Structure 1
Amino acid sequence: MKLLIFFYLVIANISNNGKASLESFSPNDNVLFTDTTKSSDKSCHRPCKFNVKPRQCYFSFDVGPVIDDERPALAINGLTPGPSLHVCLHDIIIVQVRNRIPDQDLSIHWNGLEQRGTPYMDGVPMITQCSIAYGSTYKYSFRASKPGTFFYHADSVSQQSDGVYGSLIVDQPQPLEPHSSLYDYDRSKEHTLIFGARFPELISGSLDTFGDVKPNGVLINGKDSAKLFVIPSYSYRLRFINAIAVECPLVVGISEHLVTVVATDGKPVQPIITEAVKLYPGERMDVVVRADRHRSGYWLQVKGEGVCAQLSARAMFIYSGFNYTSLIDYQPNSKFNIEDSSTVKGQDLLSYKQVPPFKNVRSVYLGIDKNMIEFKETDNDFRYVSDVVPKKPFFPAALSLQNGVVQINGKNFLFPDVPYLLKPREVRSELVCEVGNEKMHRDPQCLQLLTANVNEVLELILVNEGAGSNDTYTFHMHGYAMQVLATWQSPAGLPLSRTEFEKLDKEGLIDRNLQNPPVKNSVMVPNKGFTIVRINPEYGGSWMFECRSCALSSLPVAILISVPQPIPKIVVDSLPTCASYRPADVLLN
């Protein structure tokens, strides 16, 4: 009889778990303010289970200068990259950030996390928050609402390039992983590779060489090399993160091994087997590799492109029982010549599930190109823009120091003087220009604003017109995921104008993948080509859509997508206010 009761309880438990859904475990909103940690073990890196309340995961970041490998760098708690954050789905992440960088402001962006309900935690200065002034602190608090591979970094491209970045992994119960049958082990702590760049000098401390300094090395987890240990005949999930802020695509492959791509930018995809993968700045890719070769040691190789051309890095892929010291003297194939057709890119993938169709779609054209701004030397204006000076066209001094600047619809982005999300009515109207009507604004910079309503589907048509450059640009979307419908490049290498694009579209020559497009938050726009994405703004907020990789060699290249979201006064009043002191380099930028 006891045995019968035992089996009944087991079957009942399995049945209940089988009916489980993510929504059924979603905590109440007051979890943001209530400690739900019951265990004496305060670690948030743990096996994620069903029917267990989420935890509050506390982290403390001290960001400041250090000497790393005999060169100056910026570090978090003395580390670059910073601490790896590992949490479970629905955990509350609380990070207290203290800025110890002299004479510089700071903010931290949580790349790939939606910030649904907490748009003021997105980490964009003067858009979602006031910058963290030197010597002050800011407490971020938000829910890990989606599982996947993410990372965090300084919103400043120069500070990120100097070392302010780190991995952020959100796990979920193993039965909910769509591709868990493809691998035996998911050791995210040991098998997450975050790729960075080494620069010959401290970028954030240099004004004279702004935009001219290029990386001189590629790093794996902050080092020139790394080690991955595996057991023969078992399969492993590896997580790759391109945390390089400049335009530095990376090709990654393991000698004599194939990999199966299972996710991109934290979203599952239909599995595809390949020799190597290509990651553009900000992209993440999860792959599965099976240790089915001869028991030995192999090289995981990383090859840079773009501004990282001729740069490479490597990691040891070591089978257990193999004496890897014999690999030290063995140089891998330095050529690493994998055909581009054999390399899988995130935009080539197909989403794991079919996406719902959208009936009403609003199309927005964004023409991207490097332009020369024609103005007289006397037009250079070195003053601070304020209400007390005459209203005349403003030409930032940086325009005279560049061989053209990258722009969207002929304009560069201008950050407001107060956080737009928190105090939109205090933003001066003459600084704002509506996306699509930028020509009405007389200055080369303006706050390019695209206003939309909740659930108003936007189709962003990103055309790299290519008349002024031969560059490829990578764009990152804050807050929302993007469906990547199409990517195309002119086979003849000819510039592409808006008129020519609209002709192609009208003639039905553009094939949009409307059934299973990959869902991403970082996309590449090829030189003399286009990428088409769709966004469904299901919740409110003020979200940047930006070319971060353009920032070191251009004025800001971005638009602000604003979906009205009233922020309660009690929240606005509880957030740190903007400091009155602003360093000169911040003001001039």
Structure 2
Amino acid sequence: MLRNFCLLILIYSKPCLSAIDILPVADTSVQLQVGREDADPQLSKYIQPNDIASGRYDNISTADAEKIGLCARPCDGAKPMVCYYSWTLENYATVGPACGDCLKGNQSHCRRKGCVTADGFERPILSINRQIPGPSIQVCKGDTIVVDVKNHMLDRATTIHWHGVYMKATPYMDGVPMVTQCPIPSGTTFRYKFPATPEGTFFHHSHHGLQKMDGLEGSLVIRSPRAKDPISSNYDYDLYSHVIILTDWMHSMTDSKFPGRSHNDTRAKPDALLINGQNQVPSDNSPRVPMHFFKVQKDKKYRFRIIGGSCLACPLIFTVENHPLLVIASDGTPVEPFTVDTLTMFPGDRVDVVINCNQEPNLFWIQAKTICDTQITAEAVLQYSSGQKLKYVSKRPNSSAFKRGKSLNAMDINPECKSGVDGVCWSQINALKAPLEPNVVLKPVPDKKFVLAVSEFFYTLDALFWKDNDQYQRFFQASPAIVTHMINNRSFMMPPFPPLTQSDPIPPNMVCPTDDSKCTDGSNVKGGKLCECVNIIQVDLGAVAEVIFIDWGSSSFLHPMHLHGTDTYIIEQGLKPKGVDNKAFIQQLQDKLAKNGANLATTKPKPCVKDVVTIPPSGYAVVRIHFNNPGFWMCHCHYIFHSDTGMSMIFQVGTRDQFIKPPPGFPVCNSFMPKVDPDEFKSIKWDDEPT
């Protein structure tokens, strides 16, 4: 029977693992690669391995980790460390030369260093150190994170954003091109350096163009000592290998779908999903590339960190066969624990759950699937340790195998956030603790009130292509419509230089007008006027704002709105009543909020804290934001085609004298447009002219 089990494992994923292999003991005799040729020699003693999430280091002690300079370690009693990562970003390919005979069934070739299998479909990708996801960063709070990003990609500049990390001491390390830094040109290296704080589940990804969806992302976990973790009593283990990144995946480079196609393969939908960069195409005729295995022991409770690394508009449902999910944190902040059957994950979301492994030892399916009409799935395996014979408890599931049940963040089935419905909204969840300054964050009257209305602008062909204005406006073809996207009727354009680090004034003709009448909604058909401009809202440092995110568009998209530099406290979510004018509804909502504001600290003492809040079609979310971090901070939809076609804006928090200055030698950039003198070259004697 064990032989049959081994055969089954070989067919479905990887060679058979015995019971003693389930939780490997770290081999502390193995030294880290101090002599790696890609590392800065002066920092080589701090270099971290690329395979932190492999399971190899799961059981290492703090003392043993510090002996070999490993930053992934238990944080109780840990001394602050410098954690150095050397990353090479390059054009690469799935199932390429390093994979040998992987597609012919040689599983050992599939596990070779440098072999990226994805779902077994050969395609070009962008990679960090020839792996997807990119290397995992897992450190202790108080460590110093240093990442050298070497851009070896052809004809592509880049930046790396540290999603969810506040960057209070280092705002110039936030990684937004032309906002907090210049893009990193091909052939150059940029060093990111920042303190590891706060604790929580985060991730890193390219913030330049569409690169994130082609492979440039990975996990980032900052832990505190277990004795200081207020939710640690809910689980036995928090392993480095139990970090899960869910990604949607195309079988071509993402920019081949931008600005869109008219005649073939017009959809902007995924061809596949990946779990930690792996999946098997469920077809008897397809090659068997590995899927991911997560190892556990019976009667133990494990903390799993789930990251919504997807990029497209279709949310993903995450489930573990026969195992409910105890939710304990979101976007890095603990919540009052509650149990659901599934998670609904949007781009940018992070949810920490506890899985109680109380079933009889077996192999159980982990599934991610889209909720859109394509019903694409990806599977991984929860593998119990056992001296008994194991087998799959069921055949590989299709998209309808598991019921959705009670689902967290299911804005598609409960957009009104009603109680007693299977769809649970974040506004119905309490944080574990009240805000550190409840009398500030939840003050009866906020210092500022903002409405951020997201929508789309529909072009006519005449206005976009044939009208004699030669403006070359940016667009996205969501066939058959041709649109751009907006916040407050303003489609965001990047400034010509990063305003955080360069104090030159942005040219006035590029800055969005404050007069709303100059930027109207609708489309060219309705006489609407599109404003493409740098949209900046200024806020005093320390101000508390009431922000209403609302969908004024006519599409069926849900919008996961991400705020850099700080968090949002979710006060209310819901749906705008049908037939009610947008502006009239906003006034009604603001009147209600003003009436309830006096009791907010009592009625909503522990609002859920997130840096990504999703609004459904014609829906809204009310949040409080404490703008206590000076700088320029992006706020944008995390659906990649929306953010890159204008659904973004910047909060300027504070004034320049309150900003933290970048270090000496920080790169600068700008447009180059020298003056033109008609006589400049008159005095030059050309070789081909007669003397």
TM category (shorter chain) comes to: 0.7 to 0.9
Tell whether 2:311 aligns with 1:220.
Answer: no
Q: TM (normalized to structure 1)?
A: 0.83
Residue matched to 1:357: 439
Residue matched to 1:317: 382
The 8 Å contact of residues 170 and 660 in structure 2, kept in 1 or not, is answered as no
Residue matched to 2:490: 411
Tell whether 2:537 aligns with 1:450.
Answer: yes
Three-state SS of the structure 2 residue aligned to 1:551 is helix
Residue matched to 1:59: 85
Judged with a 3 Å threshold, the aligned counterparts in structure 2 of structure 1 residues 294 and 345 are, in CA distance, closer, same or farther, namely farther
Deviation per residue, 1:392-433 (Å, 9 max, x gap): xx4515378952222111110011001111124332122112
Residue matched to 2:180: 128
Q: Distance in 2 between matches of 1:163 and 1:267?
A: 27
Judged with a 3 Å threshold, the aligned counterparts in structure 2 of structure 1 residues 493 and 80 are, in CA distance, closer, same or farther, namely farther
Q: Distance in 2 between matches of 1:245 and 1:381?
A: 34
Q: Distance in 2 between matches of 1:579 and 1:508?
A: 43
Residue matched to 1:385: none
Residue matched to 2:676: none
Residue matched to 2:51: none
2:73 equivalent among 46, 62, 69: 46
Cα displacement (A) at 1:473: 0.8
1:430 equivalent among 505, 509, 513: 509
Matches within 5 A, 1:171-570: 171-187=223-239, 189-204=240-255, 207=258, 209=260, 212-224=267-279, 225-306=291-372, 309-321=374-386, 326-327=391-392, 330-332=395-397, 334-335=399-400, 336-339=402-405, 341-355=421-435, 356-358=438-440, 359=443, 360-361=445-446, 362-373=448-459, 376=463, 377-379=465-467, 394=471, 396-398=473-475, 403-433=482-512, 437=516, 439=518, 444-466=531-553, 468-490=554-576, 497-507=582-592, 514-551=604-641, 555-563=645-653, 564-566=655-657
The 8 Å contact of residues 395 and 443 in structure 1, kept in 2 or not, is answered as no
Q: Distance in 1 between matches of 2:357 and 2:155?
A: 50
Judged with a 3 Å threshold, the aligned counterparts in structure 2 of structure 1 residues 156 and 559 are, in CA distance, closer, same or farther, namely same
Q: Distance in 1 between matches of 2:624 and 2:651?
A: 13
CA RMSD of aligned residues (A): 3.1
Q: Distance in 2 between matches of 1:35 and 1:53?
A: 19
Q: Distance in 2 between matches of 1:378 and 1:473?
A: 32
Residue matched to 1:15: none
Cα displacement (A) at 1:566: 4.1
The 8 Å contact of residues 92 and 144 in structure 1, kept in 2 or not, is answered as yes
Deviation per residue, 1:558-586 (Å, 9 max, x gap): 1100012448897364112338799xxxx
Judged with a 3 Å threshold, the aligned counterparts in structure 2 of structure 1 residues 297 and 329 are, in CA distance, closer, same or farther, namely closer
Tell whether 2:166 aligns with 1:105.
Answer: no
The 8 Å contact of residues 259 and 477 in structure 2, kept in 1 or not, is answered as no
Judged with a 3 Å threshold, the aligned counterparts in structure 2 of structure 1 residues 300 and 568 are, in CA distance, closer, same or farther, namely closer
Q: Distance in 1 between matches of 2:149 and 2:534?
A: 28
1:86 equivalent among 122, 130, 138: 138
Greater displacement, 289-298 / 476-485 = 289-298
Judged with a 3 Å threshold, the aligned counterparts in structure 2 of structure 1 residues 202 and 440 are, in CA distance, closer, same or farther, namely closer
Number of residue-to-residue matches in the alignment: 534
Judged with a 3 Å threshold, the aligned counterparts in structure 2 of structure 1 residues 103 and 325 are, in CA distance, closer, same or farther, namely farther
Greater displacement, 308-317 / 125-134 = 308-317
Judged with a 3 Å threshold, the aligned counterparts in structure 2 of structure 1 residues 72 and 34 are, in CA distance, closer, same or farther, namely closer
1:169 equivalent among 198, 215, 221: 221
Q: Distance in 2 between matches of 1:148 and 1:506?
A: 36
Q: TM (normalized to structure 2)?
A: 0.72
The 8 Å contact of residues 204 and 217 in structure 2, kept in 1 or not, is answered as yes
Judged with a 3 Å threshold, the aligned counterparts in structure 2 of structure 1 residues 567 and 167 are, in CA distance, closer, same or farther, namely same
**Quick one: which amino acid aligns to residue 137 of structure 2?**
L
The 8 Å contact of residues 121 and 141 in structure 1, kept in 2 or not, is answered as yes
The 8 Å contact of residues 363 and 393 in structure 2, kept in 1 or not, is answered as no
Gaps of 5+ in 1: 1-32, 383-393, 583-589
Deviation per residue, 1:527-568 (Å, 9 max, x gap): 111011111111201000011315268612111000124488
Judged with a 3 Å threshold, the aligned counterparts in structure 2 of structure 1 residues 57 and 381 are, in CA distance, closer, same or farther, namely farther
**Quick one: which amino acid aligns to residue 349 of structure 1?**
I
**Quick one: which amino acid aligns to residue 88 of structure 2?**
D
Q: Distance in 1 between matches of 2:89 and 2:316?
A: 27
Q: Distance in 2 between matches of 1:193 and 1:186?
A: 13
Judged with a 3 Å threshold, the aligned counterparts in structure 2 of structure 1 residues 570 and 265 are, in CA distance, closer, same or farther, namely closer
Q: Distance in 1 between matches of 2:195 and 2:614?
A: 28
Q: Distance in 1 between matches of 2:662 and 2:648?
A: 27
Q: Distance in 2 between matches of 1:112 and 1:500?
A: 31
Three-state SS of the structure 2 residue aligned to 1:83 is coil
Matches within 5 A, 1:22-33: none
Gaps of 5+ in 2: 1-41, 47-62, 96-121, 280-290, 408-420, 521-528, 674-691
Cα displacement (A) at 1:522: 0.7
**Quick one: which amino acid aligns to residue 141 of structure 1?**
K
